[in-house]
Amino acid sequence: MKIVLQRTKKASVTVNEEVIGAIDHGFVLLVGITHGDTIDDAKYLAEKIVNLRVFEDDNGKMNHSLKDVEGQILSISQFTLYGDCRKGRRPNFMEAAPPDTAEPLYDAFNELLRSQGVPVETGSFGAMMDVQLVNDGPVTLIVESQSGKK
- Residue 55 annotated among the catalytic residues of the structure: no
Q: How many whole angstroms separate alpha carbon 85 and alpha carbon 9?
A: 31
Q: How many whole angstroms separate alpha carbon 26 and alpha carbon 32?
A: 19
The active-site residue out of 27, 55, 79, 109 is 79
The gap between the terminal CA atoms of the chain, to the nearest Å, is: 11
The active-site residue out of 8, 72, 78, 122 is 78
- Residue 80 annotated among the catalytic residues of the structure: yes
- Residue 34 annotated among the catalytic residues of the structure: no
Helical pair 39-51 and 99-115, crossing angle rounded to 10 deg: 40
The active-site residue out of 38, 80, 140, 146 is 80
Peptide bond between residue 99 and the one before it cis (omega within 30 degrees of 0): no
Return the beta strands (E) in the chain as ranges. 2-15, 18-23, 26-32, 55-56, 62-64, 72-77, 120-122, 130-144
Catalytic annotation, residues = 78-80
